[in-house]
Amino acid sequence: MNTPLRITAFGAGLAAAFGLALGVGHATGNGPAPKPATAAHGGHNAAGAGQAPEHAGHTEESAAGTGAGVGAEHLPGGLQVSERGYTLNVENPFVTAGSPTDLRFRILGTDGKPVTAYQQQHEKELHLIVAPRDLSTFQHLHPTLAADGTWSAPTAVPAAGEYRVFADFTPTGASEGLTLGADLHAAGDLRPAPLPDTGRTVTVDGYTVTLGGDLTPGRSGRLTLSVSKDGRPVTDLQPYLGAYGHLVALRAGDLAYLHVHPDTTTPGPEIGFTTTAPSGGSYRLFLDFKHQDTVRTAAFTVTTDGTVAPAPAPAAGHTEGADDHQH
Ligand SMILES: [Cu+2]
């Protein structure tokens, strides 16, 4: 596939996040086209300067406004349990496969106390993703926040494994969101599996989802996912989390969590997203879409050169946990 890639303003911010020397435009969808920066951001030099002050490399990005533009020195999300002074503290990281569990955790702030105030992103104050190291399953939960800052999500991990729990959130007052990742151990009969070759078409629950576009390392790329049922394009997708689809992309090998932005304003059949692959390699894409009041997940394996191979993905579990959180 040679689908042309479109650099959007959003993408430029993401590219900067992954270390490209691109200028950062407005963080909203229709800003001016990004221009190459004439010089590297100040943050690039911080590594050689020893202990740079916390915010030294951030001033230039503040123009991005809504927080999509982050410092060029930032790692992809999800790799760290603690970042920028915030820590993901999982109360019960040892669970048993198949057993209902109440996943409880807190986000500790820069003062060491639980964070209790969050800004909504995609209609929720916090998105919780649970995936095993082999990326064979996926859960997207919306935990409930208690007054003391404890989040809880009733769930059950489907199989034994070493899992990663991702909390994607923006504390109130923070200039940008962050994704923290922590380990979750599920005891049981461990059967890790290689990444499935999914090809560009995945079937879930009678729906056929076809992937268009490619991931290119270090460059913003546009992915499209087209939904059909019984051979007919689905044109009445329902909004889910403020868009007609929600996509999570995780890198195989370390489960780096990619930020993905939906850009579609029509209810199908095609849902578009922009994201940047921080490196070459394989990624798992998990698309949540809602139709006839049910959210379903289609999972793809994609490599950054666009190569994908056939075979249906195993059904990706989707659990809407504690989704009655009031806003
Ligand atoms: Cu969510």
CA of 57 relative to ligand 1 center, distance in Å: 30
CA of 2 relative to ligand 1 center, distance in Å: 31
CA of 20 relative to ligand 1 center, distance in Å: 28
- Long-range contacts (CB closer than 8 Å, 24 or more residues apart) made by 309-314: 309/197, 309/198, 309/199, 310/197, 310/198, 310/199, 311/196, 311/197, 311/198, 311/199, 312/196, 312/198, 312/202, 312/203, 313/196, 313/198, 313/202, 313/204, 314/136, 314/137, 314/196
CA of 323 relative to ligand 1 center, distance in Å: 9
CA of 247 relative to ligand 1 center, distance in Å: 10
CA of 127 relative to ligand 1 center, distance in Å: 4
Of all helices (H) and strands (E), which one includes residue 288? strand 282-291
Q: Is 298 exposed, middle or buried (0-12, 13-18, 19+ CB in 10 A)?
A: buried
Q: How far apart are CA 263 and CA 18, in angstroms?
A: 21
CA angle 62, 66, 71 (to 5 degrees): 45
Nearest to 90 by CA among 136, 137, 157, 135: 157
CA of 129 relative to ligand 1 center, distance in Å: 8
CA of 259 relative to ligand 1 center, distance in Å: 12
CA of 43 relative to ligand 1 center, distance in Å: 31
The answer to whether 115 and 163 are in contact (CB under 8 A) is no
Q: How far apart are CA 82 and CA 49, in angstroms?
A: 22
Q: What is the pLDDT along the chain (327 residues), one digit of tens a residue?
A: 433 333 333 333 333 343 333 333 333 333 343 333 333 333 333 333 333 344 433 433 333 333 344 444 568 999 999 999 999 999 999 999 999 999 999 999 999 999 999 999 989 999 999 999 999 999 999 999 999 999 999 999 999 999 999 999 999 999 899 999 999 999 999 999 999 999 999 999 999 999 999 998 888 889 999 999 999 999 999 999 889 999 999 999 999 999 888 888 899 899 999 999 999 999 999 999 999 999 999 999 999 864 443 334 444 444 444 443 333
CA of 54 relative to ligand 1 center, distance in Å: 29
The answer to whether 274 and 261 are in contact (CB under 8 A) is yes
CA of 189 relative to ligand 1 center, distance in Å: 29
Q: How far apart are CA 244 and CA 156, in angstroms?
A: 27
Do β-strands 178-187 and 94-96 pair in parallel, antiparallel, or remain unpaired?
parallel
CA of 264 relative to ligand 1 center, distance in Å: 17
Nearest to 31 by CA among 277, 308, 289, 261: 261
Half-sphere exposure of 88 (CA within 13 A, CB side): 29
DSSP secondary structure letter of residue 59: G
The answer to whether 198 and 300 are in contact (CB under 8 A) is yes
Helices then strands, counting H and E runs in the chain, come out as: 1, 21
CA of 322 relative to ligand 1 center, distance in Å: 11
CA of 240 relative to ligand 1 center, distance in Å: 9
CA of 149 relative to ligand 1 center, distance in Å: 18
CA of 142 relative to ligand 1 center, distance in Å: 6
Spell out the domains of the chain, with CATH numbers in brackets: 9-64 (no CATH), 82-187 (2.60.40.1930), 201-303 (2.60.40.10)
Specify the pLDDT at position 73: 52
pTM for this model (two decimals): 0.72
Q: Is 77 exposed, middle or buried (0-12, 13-18, 19+ CB in 10 A)?
A: buried
CA of 325 relative to ligand 1 center, distance in Å: 12
Give ion ligand 1 contacts, CB < 5 A.
127
How far from each other are the two terminal CA atoms of the chain, in whole angstroms? 42
Specify the pLDDT at position 225: 96
